[in-house]
Amino acid sequence: MRFLLAAADRAGAPKVVLSAQTHAEGFYRRLGFVPAGQPFLVKGIEHRWMARTGTR
């Protein structure tokens, strides 16, 4: 994940968005992601959109 985020930063991506399983939100928060929107189900598993903006 750090490799992919570094690549996004080098490319100048203004935002990285992902669909995280809610039990993994803490992992993504530590990487700079913040929740965006309400939880939703994917094949019975709760997810939430998360976004990381700007370059680090």
Instruction: Give this prediction's pTM.
Output: 0.87
Q: Show the tokens assigned to 55.
A: 């370059």
CATH number of 2-53: 3.40.630.30
Q: What is the pLDDT of residue 15?
A: 96
Query: Would you place residue 56 in the very low, low, confident or very high pLDDT band (cuts 50, 70, 90)?
Result: low
- pLDDT tens string 6-48: 999 999 999 999 999 999 999 999 999 999 999 999 999 999 9
Categorize the per-residue pLDDT at 54 as very low, low, confident or very high, splitting at 50, 70 and 90: confident
Cβ proximity of 8 and 33 under 8 Å: no
- Specify burial of residue 2 (Cβ count, 10 A radius: 0-12, 13-18, 19+): exposed
